[in-house]
């Protein structure tokens, strides 16, 4: 609010503001000092489970070491007290076909884009600039507000890496970047281009450069744009290089690949079914009877848990080593209805299905745990659970989540950490 606006506030505004302000006339209690570090730790954990880095890794579908044992109807467990055997009905209450997504999905198309992007982009880049998959961010990211997946690729030039985001929305600030008035519109064959570059060190000593590129075809409202950043002094794609890019005959193929109105091919659908078969060959070793995994149709790289009563968004990850471990008593299962505030408190074997976060130790030592996120179907918004973030395209009925017994069966399944790692590699897009 400007000073002029402030002067014009009426009496009501001032009185209500002052009344609420009375709440802060007493000293505030001592606060936590680790808000930033807590958020960073949680954010890193989310990044890890959204997609494990696969740089240099070989996709492994080998049998789980240690002798995998199906946990169906698992044996009684003494941990945490009570009867941990699974007694819930595993008979499907919904036709299996309800989960099959026989047609092309949003996630199918994004997987196809990620696979083809390097070969389509490579011939358009300036000399000396190479392209590689974004191996350090296996699942990419989705906009919190639209659910649009952002295909990302890495350009390499002069020993530096530059992430390049092909985002449809304005999340990376195209409008404000071009509104700064230093980006003239340049006529090119077939339309106009604009390039906005914030050089290294301009906004902050910590920032590298940021660059926004836009091509507006003549007679079309479908703007093509991408965003590039890096730690070098400036962008490896100059305005002149961008002009050559959009005027190249091969540019049409890139636009076609990234056109959001183009559905996935039939081959992409077939590949998805084949991938789900591989995923379940692993997952069945640790999931309770009646459960399987499928790829989330609205969130590329994300999984869903299909159970007898419906489908839920699903993430799982194993924590190895003593750093960043869960806080849960030995031989117990812990549960929290929301993520982001620890693993909650212990939960007993009550056979009640829940949506939320389960966590427990895989063995007796406190250096190996498994955390399971099971929530409702994908939806959008700034405050949905990260596990749920995605386009709400799932048409199958929503499931009730997992019971403590079912979650415990997964946590305690022999070789579960290896299964989680292998499944994550299979589901990741890079």
Q: Among 363, 289, 281, which residue's Cα sits nearest to residue 325?
A: 363
User: Cβ-count burial of 186 within 10 angstroms (0-12 exposed, 13-18 middle, 19+ buried)?
Assistant: middle
Among positions 3, 27, 36, 323, the unique one binding other proteins when judged by CB under 8 A? 36
**Per-residue buried b or exposed e for 204-213, using 16+ beta carbons within 10 Å of the residue's own CB:** eeeebbbbbb
Binding window for other proteins (CB under 8 A); candidates: 115-123, 291-299, 382-390, 405-413: 382-390
Kindly report the number of other CB atoms within 10 A of residue 245's CB atom.
21
Please state the closest distance from residue 307 (CB atom) to other proteins, in A: 23
What CA–CA distances, in Å, run from 236 to 39, 131, 135, 255, 381? 33, 12, 20, 21, 35
Which lies closer to other proteins via its Cβ, residue 16 or residue 189?
Answer: 16
Judged by CB, which is closer to other proteins: 165, or 272? 165
Among 329, 363, 381, 397, binds other proteins (CB under 8 A): 381
* Residues whose CB is less than 8 angstroms from the CB of residue 277 and which lie 6 or more positions away in sequence, other chains included: none
| CA dihedral sign of residues 176, 177, 181, 184 | negative
Task: State how far the Cα of 334 lies from the Cα of 97, in Å rounded to an integer.
Answer: 34
| Residue 7 engages other proteins in binding (rule: CB under 8 A) | no
Q: Does 39 bind other proteins (CB under 8 A)?
A: yes
Distance of CA 191 to the CA centre of its chain: 34
Q: Is 201 in the site for other proteins (CB under 8 A)?
A: no
Q: How many CA atoms does the CB half-sphere of 194 hold within 13 Å?
A: 20
Residue 148, CA atoms < 13 Å, CB-side half-sphere: 17
Q: Is 154 in the site for other proteins (CB under 8 A)?
A: yes
- Choose which of 27, 102, 128, 159 interacts with other proteins (CB under 8 A): 159
Q: How far is the CB of 322 from other proteins (least distance, A)?
A: 21
- Which stretch, 80-88, 107-115, 187-195, 378-386, contacts other proteins (CB under 8 A)? 378-386
Nearer to other proteins, 140 or 290 (CB): 140
| Interface ranges with other proteins (CB under 8 A) | 1, 6, 9-13, 15-26, 28-29, 31-32, 35-40, 42-44, 46-47, 53, 134, 136-137, 141, 144, 154, 159-161, 163, 171-173, 176, 204, 206-208, 210, 230-231, 337-338, 340-341, 381-384, 386
């Amino acid at each position: 609010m400007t000073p002029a606006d402030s002067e014009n506030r009426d009496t009501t505004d001032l009185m209500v503001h002052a009344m609420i302000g009375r709440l802060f006339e007493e000293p505030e209690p001592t606060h936590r000092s680790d808000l930033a570090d807590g958020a960073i730790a949680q954010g890193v954990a989310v990044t890890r489970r959204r997609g494990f880095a696969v740089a240099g890794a070989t996709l492994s579908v080998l049998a789980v070491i240690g002798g995998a044992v199906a946990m169906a109807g698992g044996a009684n467990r003494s941990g945490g007290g009570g009867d941990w055997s699974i007694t819930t009905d595993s008979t499907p209450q919904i036709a299996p076909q309800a989960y099959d997504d026989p047609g092309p999905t949003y996630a199918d198309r994004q997987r196809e884009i990620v696979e083809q992007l390097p070969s389509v982009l490579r011939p358009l880049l300036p000399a000396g600039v190479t392209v590689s998959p974004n191996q350090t961010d296996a699942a990419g990211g989705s906009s919190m507000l639209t659910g649009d997946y952002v295909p990302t690729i890495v350009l390499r030039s002069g020993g530096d890496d530059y992430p390049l985001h092909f985002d449809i929305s304005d999340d990376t600030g195209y409008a404000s970047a071009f509104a700064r008035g230093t980006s003239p519109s340049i006529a090119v064959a077939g339309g106009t281009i604009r390039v906005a570059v914030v050089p290294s060190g301009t906004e902050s000593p910590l920032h590298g450069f940021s660059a926004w590129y836009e091509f507006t075809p003549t007679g079309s409202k479908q703007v093509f744009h991408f965003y590039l950043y890096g730690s070098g002094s400036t962008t490896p794609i100059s305005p002149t290089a961008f002009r050559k890019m959009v005027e190249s005959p091969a540019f049409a193929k890139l636009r076609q690949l990234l056109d959001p109105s183009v559905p996935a091919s039939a081959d992409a659908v077939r590949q998805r079914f084949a991938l789900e078969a591989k995923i379940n060959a692993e997952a069945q070793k640790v999931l309770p009877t009646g459960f399987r995994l499928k790829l989330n149709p609205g969130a590329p790289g994300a999984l869903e848990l299909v159970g007898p009563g419906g489908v839920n968004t699903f993430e799982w990850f194993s924590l190895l080593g003593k750093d960043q471990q869960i806080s849960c008593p030995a031989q117990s299962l812990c549960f929290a209805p929301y993520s982001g505030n620890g693993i909650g408190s212990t939960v007993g074997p009550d056979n009640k299905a829940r949506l939320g976060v389960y966590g427990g130790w895989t063995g007796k030592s406190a250096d190996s745990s498994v955390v399971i996120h099971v929530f409702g179907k994908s939806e959008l918004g700034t405050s949905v659970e990260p596990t749920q973030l995605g386009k709400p395209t799932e048409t199958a009925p929503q499931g009730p989540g997992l019971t403590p017994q079912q979650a415990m069966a997964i946590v305690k399944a022999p070789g579960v950490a290896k299964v989680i790692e292998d499944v994550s590699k299979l589901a990741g897009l890079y």
